[in-house]
Structure 1
Amino acid sequence: MPWQNHSWHTTLYLSPVGYSTQAICFGGGIFEIELDFVHHQLHIKSSNAATQHIALKTMSVADFYKELFEKLAASGIDIKIHGRPNEMEPAIPFASNTAISTYDPEAANLLWKAMLKSNGVFNKFRSGFIGKSSPVHLFWGAFDLAVTRFSGRPAPLHQGGMPNMPLDVMQEAYSHEVSSAGFWPGSTDSPMAVYYAYAYPGNEAYAKQKVLPEQAFYSPEMGEFFLKYEDVQSSSDPERTLMDFLQTTYEAAANTSNWERKALEK
């Protein structure tokens, strides 16, 4: 697939049953890979071949990787990928990662449902902006569902810092000023699901802005605003609570960085 700005060609999208690559052009047709968290299968759909399936279950990354490429080959799809994870340590090559990884069907389904609800609010938020905006998409490296707005102006050269992420990819991703927000389900080291928002480049005034709801807070260590998922989930109007967070953190970025808001907003 041709490179799209800010690596948007590599992201996943919410589907009615999970996450999807959406259509990828190949061999005079298209194919799609979908992770199905309702029936707990991976589907390889092709315009040139029958649909292939892989059961999602407890197994090693190496075994899953091997079966995936066998199924792709059976569909006549010959592709090459980087072959190791990004944005995490250690970056063990997929073909060499023989440790058994647990697949929890219930947890996978619940995460998809949380992202599905977030996806709807993110798209509603996105509709109020007429400048350049990303789609609502899932970055599988850090595993966050994100939406990003752009001022249209170039940004200072990014210095990188993400583990196992090429510097030139990071610099292209942050080539222009952004206000970005998303949902992150947490990790072993930080087991708290949150909504986040940040601006690049940042500025001192951004951190001091008043944002909604009152439970939202700024982390000096991360340089981002956060709102716990549980605070949204338990509010009397979760959609309004999340929309307030998205809108006020965007305004914090746009106002302190002097974006041309009249030209960018409906």
Structure 2
Amino acid sequence: MSEHAEAWPVLDHAELAPMTEYVNRVVQVAGKYSLDEPFEVGWGNIVLEVTPRGLCTPPFRRDGVTFSVHYRLLDGEVVIESDRGSRTLSLARTSVADFYAAFCETAGQLGVPHPRSDRICEIPQAPPHFEDDGVERVWDARSARLMWEAFDRAADGLEAWQAPFLGHRPRVGVMWGGFDLSATRWRPDRTAPGPEGPPFQRNAQLHEYVSVGFSFDNTHSGGGSPLDIGMYAYIWPQPKGLADRSWGVEGAAWHPDAGLALLPWEALRRAPDPRAAIVAFGDAVYDAAVATAGWPADLVDPRVDGWYMSEHQPGTPVRS
């Protein structure tokens, strides 16, 4: 195993679950501001950026104030930064309810309005509102760092996978509802979402897409065990013929009950180059979409870096 591979941390679901459950809730507080933005197909505008210190919202503009919210996981704090100044509050709170109250008070000092909703979403076992979640929370710096390292490394691979796609592709980031890192490729072919599910989910299914991502618990998509930390992928609508396909990386497999191709984190760590393995996994998923769902192969350009493009004429054949 290379030094690069050894740098990929061991992730244990039981160890990380208390922190992922807490952070999933508190990132929804600032995430709510993204719902005020014009809707982008597939909710592409709501994702949180993976930064060198944690997770950050895009800039928001409300009531004459421009601001962003940075969940600095490596520092155990949240920074609300605006054109009027900045404020910092600790993530080491006694509860989600305590964090929400402190956030609203701190944001108000900068003229930032409260989020328009206080509902906790996409977490079935959670109370309905932030104010109702009084469960005692203990901040664990080690788990916070492991969480950030996983998001950071997965984002690196997913951004490399996304780069050559010519169609609509929202930026890679964390969907604050389900707390999964998402990279999605869209095409404008309309689909017919089923009658079940909440409106936000059905509105995400109005067009065909291929999604590859990372999750700390792949039960978020309807299947798998609580130990399924790792990469996931699916094609919407789900075509036939996926059961017998290869998924590009040793250890990756199709899970029909979940409707997902899964690449467990441990299998990813064992790969000679985990970052390249994420790209290979994503390419295999897109190849499956081409072969089984009629996606166009010519929507993907050769994968090169910016130095190559700065030194070669358009159309120059790329040597592998």
- TM-score calculated relative to the size of structure 1: 0.91
Whether 2:211 is the aligned partner of 1:180: answer yes
CA distance in 1, matches of 2:171, 2:243: 26
Identity of aligned residues (%): 25
Whether 2:193 is the aligned partner of 1:157: answer yes
Whether 2:98 is the aligned partner of 1:63: answer yes
Letter in 2 for 1:87: E
Matched with 1:215 is: 251
Question: 4+ residue stretches of structure 1 with deviation over 4 A?
Answer: none
Letter in 2 for 1:127: A
Query: CA offsets, 1:104-146, max 9 Å, x none?
Result: 1111111111111111111111111001112101012221001
Aligned to 2:107, which of 65, 68, 72?
Answer: 72
CA distance in 1, matches of 2:188, 2:242: 19
Change (3 A) 1:156 1:206: farther
Matched with 2:234 is: 198
CA distance in 1, matches of 2:250, 2:125: 37
Please tell me whether the aligned partners of residues 82 and 110 of structure 2 are also in contact (alpha carbons under 8 angstroms): yes
Whether 2:119 is the aligned partner of 1:119: answer no
Deviation at 1:18, TM superposition (A): 0.3
CA distance in 1, matches of 2:160, 2:246: 22
Whether 2:66 is the aligned partner of 1:11: answer no
Deviation at 1:160, TM superposition (A): 4.1
Partner of 1:75, secondary structure, is coil
CA distance in 2, matches of 1:142, 1:110: 18
Deviation at 1:220, TM superposition (A): 1.1
Aligned to 1:51, which of 71, 86, 94?
Answer: 86
Please tell me whether the aligned partners of residues 217 and 227 of structure 1 are also in contact (alpha carbons under 8 angstroms): yes
| Greater RCO, CA 8 A, separation 6+ | 2
Partner of 2:142, secondary structure, is helix
Matched with 2:142 is: 106
- Unmatched segments (≥5 aa) in structure 1: 162-166
Deviation at 1:65, TM superposition (A): 0.4
Deviation at 1:187, TM superposition (A): 7.7
Change (3 A) 1:221 1:102: farther
Partner of 2:241, secondary structure, is helix
Counterparts of residues 134-149 of structure 1 (less than 5 Å): 134-149=170-185
Instruction: State the number of aligned residues.
Output: 259
Deviates more, 1:184-193 or 1:91-100: 184-193
- Compare the two structures and name the one with the higher strand fraction: 1
CA distance in 1, matches of 2:232, 2:139: 26
RMSD, matched Cα: 1.7
Query: CA offsets, 1:67-92, max 9 Å, x none?
Result: 00000111111133321221111341
Whether 2:193 is the aligned partner of 1:169: answer no
Letter in 2 for 1:54: L
Matched with 1:255 is: 291
Counterparts of residues 27-42 of structure 1 (less than 5 Å): 27-42=63-78
Please tell me whether the aligned partners of residues 20 and 34 of structure 1 are also in contact (alpha carbons under 8 angstroms): yes
Please tell me whether the aligned partners of residues 156 and 275 of structure 2 are also in contact (alpha carbons under 8 angstroms): no
Letter in 1 for 2:217: G
Matched with 2:267 is: 231
Letter in 2 for 1:78: P
Deviation at 1:204, TM superposition (A): 1.9
